Chain A
Amino acid sequence: MPRHIVRLVLLMVAIGAVGYVAKIFFTADSFYEYGHYRGKSVAEIASDKPKYKGSEYCESCHAERFAEWSKGVHNKSDIGKVVKCEVCHGAAGERDVRGMFEHLATGVDHPNKLKLVVPTDARKLCTLCHEKMPGRPAQQPQIVVASHAGTQQCTVCHNPHSPKLNLVSTAPTPIRGDAARGKAKAAACVGCHGAEGVSVNLPGPSLAGQNAAYFIAALKAYGTGARDNPMMSAFAKGASDDDAQDLAAYFAALKCQSSLTAEKQAAAAGRATASKCIACHGADGVSSNRAWPNLVGHSKDYLVAALRAYKSGSRKGNMMAGIVKTLSDAETENVAAYYAGASCK
């Protein structure tokens, strides 16, 4: 064979050998174990630590909120609709990141060194799912934000962990106070709230039949100054907790009487406006939730004054504040007339 051919063949063999060695050297050992890829990478990818831990994880430490949530509308597991804790609060786990391609099974978990988000802007959060918009299926409860909530936070009226408002009548909470003792103490109130708690052209509103829980809360509000009235505040400051309980027991048990100053016409006009109130105060002025006041039995003047006070901000009531903002003066008069004319049952 000519020498140059031999050289060429030798060169090719040498290059082939180098190629083969390089291949052995550079191919990862687990390549081709299962196919044209590095077999070990499967277990590496699977080794990552999960970050989302599920709602059950929270139960052991936040039992109260978990219980509230699991009974609420955000946990309808029977129809597969569950808004889990981590959707609103963020993932409860973290994964360490050291190198760029490292798969790591380690990392911190809430509550150790990982604080979860407490959503401060509930409007932003809740409207992600509840803002009315084309494309959202009809079965999803949706609201027009501006008319439903105004500029208020959703959490003013809704508990984020059990957002459905308790609009079903609840059984009256047992009252600790004693009505007989209350009756004696109520002597001081007759001048302004009327005999038997029925105010007819007196400065104070009727108290007969008012929900006890609301009654106690109202007295406390005057006591702390959260609600202020030159006539009323002095009396409330003098009343102890026991007094409040006794008085509440007494007044709650009295029979409410329709306010006598109802103007029939305005009341008819007020019926339409009252649709905004019915969810909480009922069509007949009897509130579904015992912590909220009954409107039945009040004079029109008192209702108007109360609504104006909410509107001006001199009386604080988060739920009411947003609602009265949208009421015109005429509507205020009419809706007050409507409830003043409601008949006691």
Chain B
Amino acid sequence: MEENELEQQDRRDFLSCLGSALACGAAAVAASALAPPATAATAATAGAKPPAIPGYDWSKHRWGYGVDATKCIGCLRCVEACKKENNVLGDAHHFRTWVERYVYLEGEETARIDSHADPVNIAASGSEGEYRFADRYKDAKVEKAFFVPKLCNHCTHPACVQVCPTGATYKTEDGVVVIDHTYCIGCQYCVQACPYGARYFDERRNVTDKCTWCYHRITKGLQPACVEVCPVGARIFGDLNDKQSPISQFVKNNQVQVLRRESGNAPNVFYVGIDKEVI
């Protein structure tokens, strides 16, 4: 008797288990059958009317970004302006854009790399909320040194978008990878997926955040905040559809390169004046 009861218990458990598994499978199949396939989505977009942004049609633009590292003076005003413009957390460890310094000392094979988040630089600036590069190599024999501004590459094939489970991050028609914070569940898959480390997690709001090329500015005809404040023109932004735009001219007139081409993401930030160590 006792044994029999146990057996029955097992069968019921098994069946209920199987039932829910099947149900889940069915739901998933139903969901995927109902979701329009990717190709249909793009086709639909072509006809759909563009998002309601006053005075702006996203189908007319294809944004691109350039960095001229030969001009950058490492003043970090871009980092400051970006944080202010986009309500980024004020400390040194959360940022949408940053600047790296590459220093080759005499007799050393590899570069020493630091950014504003380095403790020495934080100490020189006086606080985590101010940004400055310390003159730490003044007594060293420096063979070569340069600054490299970095930001999200707004890739043509963004790995971060591919891994997002909720459709919270996506690429707009005009070429900008953005995040819908209301749909972000803070799983941070995208933070891991990005080969450039361009995403950070905002513990204040429990969402991931990243550069949007200041989408709220560029759709109003303004430049991204970092480009707006750069005192030496090291950051270049514009519309690749417009052959006269600064970015088209920059790409045309220079031997530009991109970071980590081999990752297959096809970045849209074009660099001049960096060497092979920069990734």
Contacts and interface: CB of A to CB of B under 8 A. Distances in A.
Interface residues of A, number: 60
A19 B172 contact: no
A104 to B, nearest CB: 10
A135 B41 contact: no
Given A8-B19, A133-B133, A35 B30 contact: no
Given A41-B182, A83-B231, A50 B220 contact: yes
A136 B41 CA distance: 48
A61 interface: no
A51 B137 contact: no
Contacts of B45: 33-35
B222 A50 contact: yes
Given A52-B81, A87-B229, A40 B135 contact: no
B34 A137 contact: no
Which of A34, A79, A86, A97 has the most C-beta atoms of chain B within 10 angstroms of its own C-beta?
Answer: A34
Interface stretch (A10-18, A108-116, A173-181, A325-333): A10-18
Interface in A120-154: 128-129, 131-137, 139-140
Contacts of B51: 34, 39-40, 42-43, 46
Determine the main DSSP class of A at the interface with B. loop
Contacts of B220: 46, 50
Interface string A65-82: 000000000100001111
Range of interface residues on chain B?
Answer: 35 or more
A300 B152 CA distance: 64
Contacts of B75: 128-129
Interface in A21-37: 23, 28, 31-37
Given A16-B27, A44-B180, 18 more contacts: A12-B23, A20-B30, A33-B48, A35-B38, A36-B170, A41-B183, A45-B178, A51-B225, A80-B233, A84-B228, A84-B231, A91-B84, A129-B231, A134-B138, A135-B74, A135-B142, A135-B146, A136-B147
Closest 10 CB pairs of A and B: A19-B27, A80-B233, A48-B216, A15-B23, A135-B145, A41-B180, A42-B51, A37-B170, A134-B142, A134-B145
Interface of A: 8, 11-12, 15-16, 18-20, 23, 28, 31-52, 54, 74, 79-84, 86-87, 90-91, 95, 97, 100-101, 103, 128-129, 131-137, 139-140
